[in-house]
C-alpha cells in the first residue's frame, strides 16, 4: 500500500487500513503523520488564541510538541502491549507504536477547522474549537482502539479493556495512595 492510499484509508476505511498497517510498521509515514498533526494542531491553536510568537520560537515549540506525543506514545504502547499480552493478544509493541502515530491523523484537520471557525465571533469560535479538539481526540482514541484490536488479533471488547485497564489501575492506585496518606495523617 502506498502512503497516499494509507492516508486516504485512515479517513475513509480505517478498520481495513489499520489491519494492513498492523502487519507493516511503516515508521517513516507514521512519524510524518505525527509531525503534520503537531503542525496543524499548533497552527489551529494560534489561529484561535492569537499569541505573539516569533517564527524561531514557533519552530522550537513544534519540535517539543512533536517529541512529546512520540515519547508519550512510546510509554503508553509499552504498557498497553504488556496488558494486551496479559489478555491473550499476540502482537508486538513496536507495531502498536506505529498505529498510535497513525491514529493522530484526525488532528490534521485542526487548521482547516480553525480557519472556518475564524468566521465566528472569537468567544464562540474558541468554544467550538474546544469541542472540535474533543471530537478529534475521541476519533484518535477510536482509531487507536481499532489498532490495538488488529495488532493483537483479538476482539473489540478486549481492545477496549486493554485501553482502559491502565487508566483504571492508575485511578485505583491514586485512591489507595490517598487513603494511605489519610490513614497515616490521622493515626
Partner 1 sequence: MRSRLISIVLLVFLALSLIAGISLIFRAQEEEISWRPAVIAREGIGVVRIHGPIFIDASEGMFKTVRGAGYYVNRIGELLRDRRVKAIVIRVDSPGGSIGAVQELYAAILEAREKKPIIISMGDIATSGGLYISAAACYIMANPGTITGSIGVAVGNINFHRLMQEHGIGMEVIKSGEHKDILSAWREMSEEERELLQALVDELHLQFVNAVAAGRDIDIDRVKEIADGRIFTGTEAMRLGFVDRLGGFNEAIDVAMEKAGLKGEPVIIEKERPFWERMFPGASGGGGVSRLLRQIEDSHLPVKFIYHFPLGI
Burial of 44 (0-12, 13-18, 19+ CB in 10 A): buried
Name the CA dihedral angle for 39, 42, 46, 48, rounded to a multiple of 10 degrees.
110
88: left (phi over 0), alpha (psi -120 to 50) or beta: left
For partner 1, the closer CB: 53 or 138: 53
Closest CA to 99 of 165, 6, 164: 6
Least gap, CB of 121 to partner 1 (angstroms): 5
Closest distance to partner 1 from the beta carbon of 3 (Å): 9
* 82-101: contacts with partner 1 (CB under 8 A): none
Query: Which is closer to partner 1, CB of 58 or CB of 74?
Result: 58
- Among the listed residues 29, 96, 104, 114, the single contact to partner 1 using CB under 8 A: 114
From the CB of 41, what's the least distance to partner 1, in Å?
11
- Contact range with partner 1 by CB under 8 A, out of 74-82, 111-119, 136-144, 153-161: 111-119
Size of the site for partner 1 (CB under 8 A): 31
In whole angstroms, the minimum distance from the beta carbon of 9 to partner 1 comes to 8
Q: How far is CA 17 from the centre of its chain?
A: 17
Looking at beta carbons only, is 41 or 145 nearer to partner 1? 41
Helix (H) or strand (E) holding 9: helix 3-12
Handedness of CA 136, 141, 147, 153 (dihedral sign): negative
Site for partner 1 in 23-82 (CB under 8 A): 36, 39-40, 43-44, 46-47, 50, 52-53, 55
Stretch that binds partner 1, among 7-15, 90-98, 161-169, 172-180 (CB under 8 A): 7-15
| Angle at alpha carbon of residue 171, lines to 165 and 173, rounded to 5° | 100
The number of CA neighbours under 13 Å toward the Cβ of 4 is 0
- Say how far apart CA 141 and CA 118 lie, in whole Å: 27
Question: Which positions touch partner 1 (CB under 8 A)?
Answer: 2, 4-5, 7-9, 11-12, 36, 39-40, 43-44, 46-47, 50, 52-53, 55, 108-109, 111-112, 114-115, 118-122, 125
Amino acid at each position: 500500500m502506498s502512503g497516499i492510499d494509507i492516508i486516504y484509508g485512515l479517513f475513509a476505511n480505517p478498520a481495513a487500513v489499520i489491519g494492513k498497517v498492523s502487519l507493516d510498521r511503516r515508521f517513516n509515514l507514521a512519524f510524518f503523520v505525527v509531525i503534520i498533526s503537531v503542525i496543524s494542531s499548533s497552527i489551529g491553536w494560534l489561529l484561535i488564541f492569537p499569541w505573539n510568537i516569533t517564527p524561531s520560537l514557533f519552530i522550537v515549540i513544534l519540535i517539543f510538541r512533536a517529541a512529546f506525543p512520540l515519547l508519550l506514545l512510546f510509554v503508553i504502547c509499552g504498557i498497553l502491549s504488556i496488558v494486551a499480552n496479559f489478555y491473550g493478544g499476540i502482537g508486538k509493541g513496536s507495531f502498536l507504536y506505529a498505529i498510535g502515530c497513525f491514529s493522530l491523523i484526525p488532528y490534521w484537520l485542526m487548521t482547516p477547522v480553525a480557519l472556518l471557525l475564524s468566521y465566528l465571533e472569537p468567544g464562540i469560535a474558541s468554544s467550538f474549537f474546544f469541542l472540535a479538539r474533543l471530537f478529534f481526540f475521541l476519533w484518535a482514541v477510536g482509531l487507536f482502539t481499532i489498532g490495538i484490536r488488529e495488532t493483537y488479533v483479538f476482539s473489540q471488547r478486549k481492545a477496549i479493556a486493554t485501553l482502559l485497564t491502565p487508566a483504571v489501575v492508575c485511578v485505583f492506585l491514586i485512591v489507595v495512595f490517598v487513603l494511605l496518606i489519610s490513614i497515616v495523617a490521622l493515626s
